[in-house]
């Protein structure tokens, strides 16, 4: 069966800049994204949070536009503009009518090349991000999961929070941001992703005019990152809240590992959907929680499989034991034919429906290219899903659920329960 319903192409420019182009003539919109390989993986301990800080600050003014000008011009087009920072990259993006994409490109290029990092605006935005950190610290599931990954990846670039810390933010100046921007906002470390109703020639012309023609020569080479050493530790946090929040991390494949298809199938069957084993056991059968899920979190050369739930403090041990029992059952018996087919349908449907959104396609192709340097092979991924077997899924489960390497996090008023020891049956 052919799933390739749109044109996809990777264009490489002389400077090292790349364009991930996805043509869809069935829509009237164009999503445009600028992906920069700048996230926590590129930050030193003292610069934790700088990628996210820059993501905020580019919207505060450039050499040609004030902060108000940026959003007013976008709103005048009826378009949308936003940005986000991930562990591995930062993305700035717009979505607009196809007739307005050139204006959006002009604005995004301005943000990319000419942010002023005005010291007065920097002080105000520093306070904004501190409040963002405070908000996260008031959200117990955020605290639980952030502490889990920090502990699991401690000693590697992935151990830092995307938002940084109040201490690291306090030390950053406009010069700090300019220096980091000069180091990483370079052509070899940038991908433009365009999806929607725009011809290939028009997309190339757009990128050449607003980005490639303005790129400066650089000697920047983005070194690859070694696989992180994982830590089997328990982190505890006392918090005066009603529930106990529990999370576990297991080793998982890196983003581009071909075995990720099997791991994603395992995740769909085991922990992602309402019919998944974790949901049906821990919530539906035992009534121990409202939320329970398992999912992979993958990065370049590194990955974690996360299981999270929140339960009554009196049920912490029972919930942990129930999670362990479901893992044991999966490792002992594998998955059934019907579960495998259901998982395949879930993954394929998600991929196909994503093609109907220009923003979704821009994000998925851009994120893939900035992390691998390659074009996302959507049809190849479909074939890999179709070809996966029950044995592949079982092998992925065996690779992931390495209890000797597992880490755990608990956030609760009473955090004394050793959930890692319970999980390991020790």
What is the C-alpha R_g of the chain?
Answer: 23
pLDDT at 43: 95
pLDDT at 269: 96
Tokens read off for 191: 């991908």
Q: Are 300 and 371 in contact (CB under 8 A)?
A: yes
Tokens read off for 92: 């700035």
Catalytic option among 55, 212, 326, 417: 55
- pTM attached to this predicted model: 0.94
pLDDT at 417: 93
Q: Which helix (H) or strand (E) holds 177?
A: helix 174-184
pLDDT at 164: 96
- Taken in order of first residue, the domains within the chain and their CATH numbers are 7-214 (3.30.830.10), 234-423 (3.30.830.10)
Cα(76)–Cα(301) distance, integer angstroms: 42
pLDDT at 1: 47
Contacts 24+ apart (CB under 8 A), 100-105: 101/30, 101/32, 101/194, 101/196, 101/198, 101/206, 102/206, 103/73, 103/77, 103/79, 104/30, 104/32, 104/74, 104/77, 104/79, 105/32, 105/206, 105/207, 105/209, 105/210, 105/211
pLDDT at 301: 82
pLDDT at 240: 94
Tokens read off for 415: 């955090």
Cα(46)–Cα(61) distance, integer angstroms: 25
Q: Is-catalytic flag, 55?
A: yes
Tokens read off for 282: 């821990």
Cα(111)–Cα(105) distance, integer angstroms: 10
pLDDT at 220: 57
Classify residue 270 by its DSSP letter. Answer: I
The residue assigned the tokens 């495998």 is: 340
Cα(58)–Cα(177) distance, integer angstroms: 10
Which of left, alpha, beta for 90 (phi over 0: left; psi -120 to 50: alpha)? Answer: beta
Beta strands in 74-161 (DSSP E): 80-85, 90-97
pLDDT at 217: 73
pLDDT (tens digit, 0 to 9) for every residue of the chain, 426 residues total? Answer: 444 557 899 999 999 999 999 999 999 999 999 999 999 999 999 999 999 999 999 999 999 999 999 999 999 999 999 999 999 999 999 999 999 999 999 999 999 999 999 999 999 999 999 999 999 999 999 999 999 999 999 999 899 999 999 999 999 999 999 999 999 999 999 999 999 999 999 999 999 999 999 998 766 555 667 777 899 999 999 999 999 999 999 999 999 899 999 999 999 999 988 999 999 999 999 999 999 999 999 988 889 999 999 999 999 999 999 999 999 999 999 999 999 999 999 999 999 888 889 999 999 999 999 999 999 998 999 999 999 999 999 999 999 999 999 999 999 999 999 999 999 986
């Amino acid at each position: 069966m052919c799933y390739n319903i749109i044109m996809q192409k990777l264009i490489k420019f002389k400077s090292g800049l790349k364009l991930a182009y996805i043509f869809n003539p069935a829509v009237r919109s164009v999503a445009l994204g600028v992906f920069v390989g700048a996230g926590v993986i590129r930050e030193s301990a003292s610069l934790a949070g700088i990628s996210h800080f820059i993501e905020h600050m580019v919207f505060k003014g450039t050499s040609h536009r004030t902060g108000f000008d940026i959003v007013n011009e976008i709103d005048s087009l009826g378009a949308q503009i936003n940005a986000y920072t991930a562990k591995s990259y930062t993305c700035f993006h717009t979505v607009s009518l196809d007739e307005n994409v050139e204006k959006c490109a002009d604005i995004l290029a301005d943000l990319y090349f000419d942010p002023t990092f005005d010291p007065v605006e920097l002080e105000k935005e520093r306070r904004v991000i501190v409040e963002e950190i405070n908000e996260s610290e008031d959200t117990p599931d955020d605290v639980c999961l952030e502490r889990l990954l920090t502990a699991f990846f401690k000693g590697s670039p992935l151990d830092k929070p995307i938002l940084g810390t109040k201490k690291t933010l306090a030390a950053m100046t406009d010069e700090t941001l300019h220096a980091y921007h000069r180091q990483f906002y370079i052509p070899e470390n940038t991908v433009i992703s365009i999806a929607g109703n725009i011809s290939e020639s028009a997309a190339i012309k757009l990128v050449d005019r607003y980005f490639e023609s303005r790129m400066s020569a650089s000697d920047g080479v983005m070194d690859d990152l070694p696989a992180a050493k994982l830590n089997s530790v328990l982190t505890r946090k006392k918090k005066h809240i009603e529930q106990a929040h529990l999370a576990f991390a297991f080793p998982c494949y890196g983003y581009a590992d071909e075995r990720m298809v099997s791991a994603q199938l395992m995740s769909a069957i085991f922990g992602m959907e309402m019919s998944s084993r974790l949901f049906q056991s821990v919530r539906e059968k035992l009534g121990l929680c409202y939320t329970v899920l398992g999912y992979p979190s993958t990065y370049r050369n590194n990955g974690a499989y996360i299981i999270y739930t929140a339960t009554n403090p009196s049920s912490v041990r029972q919930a942990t034991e129930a999670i362990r029992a479901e893992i044991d059952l999966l490792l002992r018996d594998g998955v059934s034919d019907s579960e495998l087919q259901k998982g395949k349908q879930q993954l394929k449907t998600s991929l196909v429906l994503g093609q109907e959104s220009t923003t979704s396609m821009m994000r998925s192709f851009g994120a893939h290219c900035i992390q691998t340097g390659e074009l996302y092979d959507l049809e190849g991924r479909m074939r890999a899903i179709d070809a996966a077997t029950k044995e592949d899924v079982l092998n992925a489960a065996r690779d992931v659920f390495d209890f000797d390497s597992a880490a755990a996090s608990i956030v609760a008023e009473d955090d004394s329960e050793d959930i890692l020891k319970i999980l390991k049956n020790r």
